Structure 1
Amino acid sequence: MASWNSGPLEFIYQVLGWTAFTCWSISFYPQVILNFRRKSVVGLNFDFALLNLIKHSSYLIYNASLYFSPAVQKQYFEEYGYGEMIPVAANDVAFSAHAVLLTVITLFQIVIYERGTQKVSKLAIGIVSVIVLSAAVCFFIALPTHSWLWLVSIFNTIQVCMTIIKYVPQAIMNFMRKSTDGFSIGNILLDLSGGIANYGQMVVQSIDQGSWVNFYGNIGKLLLSLVSVSFDIFFICQHYVLYPATKDFKSVASKEPENDIKEHLVPRSDEPAASENV
């Protein structure tokens, strides 16, 4: 495997990678803490939580396989050349493992805390069923020929698709309510920072190696950054431009107890539930 040509660029690469890890990892905690303080998950989109688990699990399988498996690495070098670097860094594996853990905790909170009338939509259950079945079929296709790189690339594709799909329920809910009241923009700002740092990490590696193979050699990581940044910008426009929070809401929210905040998170009776907006 190729080595770094520039010590400073390698240092910048590591800094950007762990910056992305930090921003993305911290972004999971506000929701978990809010659920714990309220002892309620009312207002949290269950479809988002379920699809998020599939997304991060798929990404963990891809990252861990390419980072740790000699067999997958060998097939990667045969495909893209032995002079290339593995496009997965330690921070990618650490983030994926951490994301799966926090998503599982969130789903556990959904089980044990008050959830009102909310439930996972049939559409989300159908999507997950199709993905699991497809992954199983791909595994048995790859097994006879040991096409492990192709198989982990399938999981990479799954995580990209889930990245696109998982944001849709929240975007539609904001549009239907014409409001982002109760929606944490802090998570989005952290997610945006992580996406930019992740993209910058790939650019630095390409500059050092004088090759852009790591972009199409790990198209999932590239699309993860681009899709996340695009949706984050869209949410920021919704929050600050299209549906800015009113002063009345801010003043009331600052005075009311934590348990009453759910009244701002749950759509009125004439508005569609979050799980129906997938």
Structure 2
Amino acid sequence: MLSAINSDIPNKNTIFILNQVFGWVYFIAWSISFYPQCYTNFKRKSIIGLNLDFLTLNITGFFCYSVFNISIFLIYRNQKDHPVEINDIVFSIHAFFLTVFTGIQALIYERGTQKISRINNVILICIALTLGSGVVSLIAKWLSFIHFLYLFSYVKLFVTLIKYIPQAYLNYKRKSTVGWNIWGIILDSTGGIFSFAQMVLLSCSGSKSMSNLNFLSKNSGAVVLNSHTYPACVKEMFISNPVKLMLAAISLSFDIIFYIQHYILYRENNVANNFYQDIRGNITRRELGVNVRDTSHSSQINILDNKNTDAEENSGVK
């Protein structure tokens, strides 16, 4: 396998094309992943099922990620040690505004008794104090500007590490993923896979970003590996953009958890609750596809009324 890597060195144009394809595929997938949840909230006129801790952490994380990407690109774009692609910038800004939009939905739509938890408030305060201390350190010249910017990226990494936990726990308490759109997860995992593939491509080609391809050898129009060993590629991938790597790895790990919850653990509950919500929402018989006057369905509704009342009491949702 190693000999194949060393002997079949890709053409620089091929790497450029693959990098662009991988980069824009994960950008599009991750960007679109925010829309299914917004649509679900709009259709239901409710955000019940979407955890508010997850939402506030998401807004905070993408704010920090946007500040980091924009600053690095504008100030350090010509330095190969600080790689940020244009699609990283567009994605982070787009994600921030969409999470803010979802936050506005949470303010105007039904949310039952759901509220931001105390521990989440403590986390948000700690993040604000951390960034505030960074500003003081920067002014006092105790911290360089580049390290100050990386503080934002570490906040984003920390947020991504913990933000999915409240949502997974809420699904566990409700024994349902109704209100949490699975298509957002499908698109999120797709983006994570292509983001990881892009990092592997650039690391094993000896480049930290496409802007650095000019630094590579141009002998025979080929890209020459910095070190003809597979471990060197792995090491380069970890040190070139650790935040981006960790974001992809963490997102994929939690995506697997949500897949298990939606398609295996709570699959029957999701079908039952969707049926229950359609009946209670006065959906027409044609739209529902069943005879709502059927006594069997009436008994099912009564059963679901009892089950959902218990579930809502246990989850703090009414």
Change (3 A) 1:231 1:98: same
Residue among 18, 25, 28 paired with 1:19: 25
**Residue 111 of structure 1: aligned partner:** 107
**Residue 175 of structure 2: aligned partner:** 178
**Residue 66 of structure 1: aligned partner:** 72
Change (3 A) 1:221 1:22: same
Residue among 267, 279, 288 paired with 1:244: 267
**Residue 201 of structure 2: aligned partner:** 204
Q: How many residues align?
A: 259
Q: Contact 1:24–1:190 at 8 Å: present in 2 too?
A: yes
Paired letter, 2:166: P
Q: Contact 1:202–1:215 at 8 Å: present in 2 too?
A: no
Per-residue deviation at 1:208? Answer: 1.9
Change (3 A) 1:67 1:265: farther
% identical equivalent positions? 37
What is the distance in 1 between the residues matched to 2:160 and 2:309? Answer: 24
The within-5 A match list for 1:89-104 is 89-104=85-100
Per-residue deviation at 1:257? Answer: 7.0
Per-residue deviation at 1:21? Answer: 0.9
What is the distance in 1 between the residues matched to 2:268 and 2:275? Answer: 12
User: Which of structures 1 and 2 has the larger relative contact order (alpha carbons within 8 angstroms, sep 6+)?
Assistant: 1
Change (3 A) 1:9 1:250: farther
Per-residue deviation at 1:265? Answer: 9.0
**Residue 243 of structure 2: aligned partner:** 220
What is the distance in 2 between the residues matched to 1:146 and 1:249? Answer: 56
Paired letter, 1:272: S
What is the distance in 2 between the residues matched to 1:46 and 1:163? Answer: 15
Q: Deviations over 1:65-119 (max 9, x none)?
A: 111114xx57xx4xxxxxx464211111110000000011111122222332222
What is the distance in 2 between the residues matched to 1:272 and 1:256? Answer: 22
Q: Contact 1:239–1:245 at 8 Å: present in 2 too?
A: no
What is the distance in 1 between the residues matched to 2:270 and 2:316? Answer: 25
Q: Contact 2:49–2:171 at 8 Å: present in 1 too?
A: no
Q: Contact 1:17–1:201 at 8 Å: present in 2 too?
A: yes
Q: Contact 2:49–2:177 at 8 Å: present in 1 too?
A: no
Residue among 141, 146, 155 paired with 2:152: 155
Paired letter, 1:11: I
Provide structure 1 residue ranges, at least 5 long, that are not aligned to the other structure. Answer: 78-83
Q: Contact 1:171–1:235 at 8 Å: present in 2 too?
A: yes
Calculate the TM-score normalised by the size of structure 1. 0.82
What is the distance in 2 between the residues matched to 1:101 and 1:86? Answer: 25
The Cα RMSD (Å) is 2.8
